[in-house]
Structure 1
Amino acid sequence: MKRLYNLYCLCLFCTLYPWKIQAQEGISRRALEELAEPEPLQQSALFFNITEAQFPKIPEEHEPVTVEYGYVNRSDKPLTINKVTASCGCIAVNYDKLPIPAGGKGTIKVSFKPKGYSGPIYRQVLVYTPLSADRPTVRLTLTGEVIASTDAWRGYPHKLGALRTRQRTVSFGVTDRSAKLAEVIACGNSGKVPLSLSAAGLPPYLTFRTSHPVIEAGKEADLIFLFDGSKLPVEEKGTITLPVVLTGLEGVPEQRTITLVIKLD
């Protein structure tokens, strides 16, 4: 009851004095998460060598950061980790689901993906065991700081030479083999020279064009793939997967490839 009252007071404070919370974003998230989640057990059965870890300042483009939290079962009987929950979708957790024998050791690997996040970071991972059905056995925390990306094209994460795209896969769901369908990939020219793109070797039932014949440097456009079911061979069944290599870009073919998936009902 006291924790609910404290959470109510903190939320009321955030409403009345929002500028103070904005100035200390990392601290406020920590306070909110620790109040919102159930308090861990006061126990000594599952002992962790560390429960709080910190990563150095990293850029948003950095690879995921992985931290290992080692533990030992100090009880006199096997103990199983029932589940592990994370406070953010940016966290991936890997742990052994087999029973931990008395005196047995193991690790929980926690990976944080910085892309899409910036500023102070506080994330928590709650570890549950049969010691309690409602309360976590232990709380693991990960803190650090992410430097916001300066990449003007970060909304287009896929690089095909100077061309940046939102995705590298196009899917057609074909329910009528006589239908004409179109799929679009948003893109942008991150280079310093105009781009004129084409796709060679397409089957008769597929065509490709761009929304602008020439994509000027620094400009956005669309890659347009057109499907004509009337030209599809009758013997084609199931799913067709086609790698399409774009021409007009630098790089080996694998770096200039869009994958088309055609699902035939």
Structure 2
Amino acid sequence: MKTLAYMVSVAALLVSSPSASMAQNGLLKFDRNVIDAGTMTEDDAPRTYTFTGRNVSRRTLHITQVKTTCGCTSSTVSSKELKPGAAFKVSVTFTPRRYPGTINTGAFLYLREAAGTPAAKLALTGKVLPGADVWARYPHKMGALRLKQSKVSISEVKPGTQPSARILCGNSGNKALRINSLLLPHYARLSTEPEVLQPGDEADLVITILADKIPSTMPATFSFPVVLEGLDARPSDRTIQVSVSRELLKK
């Protein structure tokens, strides 16, 4: 199964310079800038961690934004106006569901008095183990096939092109899957990469539009269903909706 490796680069930015994170220009100071969240599973409820900071300057400061680095994380701040010497708390909530792997996320705090540059960098570290349902990150279930999404959009379809859209999917069953569609319009193609999905494997479901075969009478924007075959599910439960936006030839 794939993990969120892209979060590692964010973590490096967050924790590479703890001393620099302690304060910017002597404005803020935190009791700690990195919290170890320990080990949890995808099935665990969201957990909230609190960073306590203080205005160590001689002027009133104003928090304009606390920006988290991942959709798995949200944040709140106890006060946005900080008098000199005032303490405040930044609460960072981490939701492990659909985020297995290393926890490397956090929040950037911005001040009106230091516009454009984070005044503090707060980080969470730890580990998330896969939950009981290893396919939970694939919310759309079509028989044994699990998909990240059941709708796709293909835009900027131009004459002479064959643009495509990809849907990450996986075989959650115990038998190999061969996916096709018998009712595709003549200007569309469907394939999987690889062609055969072995049990437990992931793949790309690829929908390709043959721009030159789209009838000239079709509008600039239109949609059509793709009913997948080779799955043990009702047609309505194994249908992908495809929307297309194309460039019409100028007369």
TM-score, structure 1 normalization: 0.54
For the pair shown, the structure with the greater C-alpha radius of gyration is 1
Higher helix fraction (1 or 2): 1
Paired position in structure 1 for 2:94: 112
Is residue 2:135 matched to residue 1:163? no
Separation of aligned partners in 2, 1:216 and 1:262: 31
Gaps of 5+ in 2: 1-11
Kept after mapping to 2: 8 A contact 1:93/1:108: no
Kept after mapping to 2: 8 A contact 1:172/1:183: no
Is residue 2:216 matched to residue 1:234? yes
C-alpha change, 1:129 and 1:231, in structure 2 (3 Å) is: closer
Once the two structures are overlaid, the 10-residue window that deviates more, 210-219 or 124-133, is: 210-219
CA-to-aligned-CA distance 1:76-116 (integer Å, 9 cap, x gap): x9753134355x546644558x96498xx997553436525
The Cα of 1:191 is off from its aligned counterpart by 1.4
Is residue 2:189 matched to residue 1:195? no
C-alpha change, 1:57 and 1:256, in structure 2 (3 Å) is: farther
C-alpha change, 1:158 and 1:46, in structure 2 (3 Å) is: same
Kept after mapping to 1: 8 A contact 2:73/2:106: no
The Cα of 1:162 is off from its aligned counterpart by 1.8
Match of 1:39 among 9, 13, 22: 22
The Cα of 1:165 is off from its aligned counterpart by 4.9
Residue identity in the other structure for 1:264 = R
Separation of aligned partners in 2, 1:256 and 1:200: 13
Separation of aligned partners in 1, 2:82 and 2:149: 46
C-alpha change, 1:211 and 1:138, in structure 2 (3 Å) is: closer
Residue identity in the other structure for 2:156 = G
Kept after mapping to 2: 8 A contact 1:124/1:141: yes
Q: Number of aligned residue pairs: give it.
A: 231
Once the two structures are overlaid, the 10-residue window that deviates more, 222-231 or 206-215, is: 206-215
Residue identity in the other structure for 1:34 = P
Separation of aligned partners in 2, 1:32 and 1:40: 15
The Cα of 1:58 is off from its aligned counterpart by 1.4
Higher strand fraction (1 or 2): 2
Counting aligned pairs with the same residue, the percent is: 28
RMSD of equivalent CA atoms: 5.4
Paired position in structure 2 for 1:264: 246
Match of 1:205 among 187, 190, 195: 187
C-alpha change, 1:235 and 1:52, in structure 2 (3 Å) is: same
Separation of aligned partners in 2, 1:52 and 1:31: 7
Paired position in structure 2 for 1:174: 157
CA-to-aligned-CA distance 1:211-264 (integer Å, 9 cap, x gap): 687655456665443433344233433333444332332456675343423220
Paired position in structure 1 for 2:110: 128
Separation of aligned partners in 2, 1:239 and 1:72: 54
Gaps of 5+ in 1: 1-27
2:219 aligned counterpart, secondary structure: coil
